[in-house]
A = this chain, B = another copy of it.
Amino acid sequence: MTDQILITGCGTFIPSEVIDNETLVKAYNAHVEEYNREYSAEIAAGDRTALKNSSADFIKNASGIEERHVMEASGIIDPKRLRPNLGDRNPDELSYQAEMGLAAAKNALDQAKKSTSDVGMLISACSNYERPYPSLAIEVQKALGINGFAFDMNVACSSVPFAIRLAYNSLLTQPELPGVLIVSPEFYTGHLNFRDRDSHFIFGDAAGALYLERSETSKSSNAFSVKNIQLQTHFSNNIRNDGGFLRQAVNRTDPWHPRNLFSQQGRAVFREIVPLVSEMILNQLDEEGIRRSSLKRVWLHQANSKMNLLLAKKILEREPSHAELPLVLKNYGNTGAAGVVLAFSESQNLDPGSWGVFCAFGAGYSAGSVLLQKC
Q: Which one of B83, B236, B253 contacts A134 once the chains associate, using CB atoms below 8 Å?
A: B236
Q: Is the CB of A250 within 8 A of B87?
A: yes
A230-268: which residues lie under 8 A (CB-CB) from chain B? 231-237, 239-253, 255, 259
Say yes or no for A152: interface residue by CB 8 A criterion: yes
CA distance A162 to B191 in the complex (A): 28
Name the distance in Å between A272's Cβ and chain B's nearest Cβ: 13
- List the B side residues contacting A133 at CB < 8 Å: 127-128, 154, 156, 239-241, 362-364
Chain B residues near A245: list those with CB within 8 A: 128-130, 187, 190-191, 243
Which of A134, A170, A234 neighbours the largest number of chain B CB atoms within 10 Å of its CB?
A: A134
Q: Which residues of B contact A86 (CB under 8 A)?
A: 246, 249-251
Contact A153 B150 (CB under 8 A): no
- Per the bound structure, the CA–CA distance linking A152 and B123 in Å amounts to 12
28 contacts between A and B (CB under 8 A): A85-B249, A91-B237, A129-B245, A130-B246, A131-B241, A131-B244, A133-B241, A134-B240, A134-B363, A135-B154, A135-B156, A135-B363, A135-B366, A137-B155, A137-B233, A138-B155, A138-B234, A142-B234, A148-B231, A149-B231, A149-B233, A151-B154, A153-B153, A153-B154, A169-B169, A187-B245, A190-B246, A191-B245
Contact bitstring A211-235, B, C-beta under 8 A = 1, else 0: 0000000000000000000011111
Chain B neighbourhood of A96, CB < 8 A: 246
Report the minimal beta-carbon distance from A131 to chain B, rounded to whole angstroms. Answer: 4
Chain A window 183-226, contacts with chain B (Cβ cutoff 8 Å), 1 for yes, 0 for no: 00001001100000000000000000000000000000000000
- Would B240 and A91 count as touching, CB distance under 8 A? yes
Q: Is A289 part of the contact surface with B, judged by Cβ < 8 Å?
A: no
A154 touching B152 by the CB < 8 A rule? Answer: yes
Which residue of chain B has the shortest Cβ distance to A157 in the bound complex? B133
Closest to A170 in B: B169
Q: Verify A134–B249 contact, CB threshold 8 A.
A: no
Using Cβ atoms and an 8 Å threshold, which residues of chain B touch A242? 91, 130-131
Chain B positions within 8 Å of A89 at CB level: 250
Q: Is A288 an interface residue (CB 8 A)?
A: no
A353 interface residue, CB < 8 Å from B?
A: no
Q: Could you tell me which residues of chain A, from 66 to 100, have a CB within 8 Å of some CB in chain B?
A: 72, 75, 83-89, 91-92, 96
Residues on A lying within 8 angstroms of B by beta carbon are 72, 75, 83-89, 91-92, 96, 127-135, 137-139, 141-142, 148-156, 159, 162, 165-166, 168-170, 172-174, 187, 190-191, 231-237, 239-253, 255, 259, 362-366, 368
Q: Which residues on B sit within 8 Å (CB–CB) of A130?
A: 242, 244-246
Which of B127, B151, B172, B243 is in CB contact (< 8 Å) with A172? B172
A247-B248 Cα distance, complex, nearest whole Å: 13
Choose among A85, A174, A248 the residue with the greatest number of B CB atoms under 10 Å from its CB. A248
On whether the beta carbons of B131 and A240 are closer than 8 Å, the reply is yes
Given A151-B154, A153-B154, A245-B190, do A235 and B138 touch, yes or no (CB 8 Å)?
yes
**Smallest beta-carbon distance A150→chain B, Å:** 5
A368 to B365, CA, bound (A): 30
Contact A190:B149 (CB < 8 A) given known A131-B240, A135-B233: no
Q: When chains A and B are docked, how far (Å) is the Cα of A154 from the Cα of B232?
A: 20
The minimal Cβ–Cβ distance linking A182 to chain B, given in whole angstroms, is 13
A141 in contact with B233 given A244-B128, A249-B83 (CB within 8 Å): yes
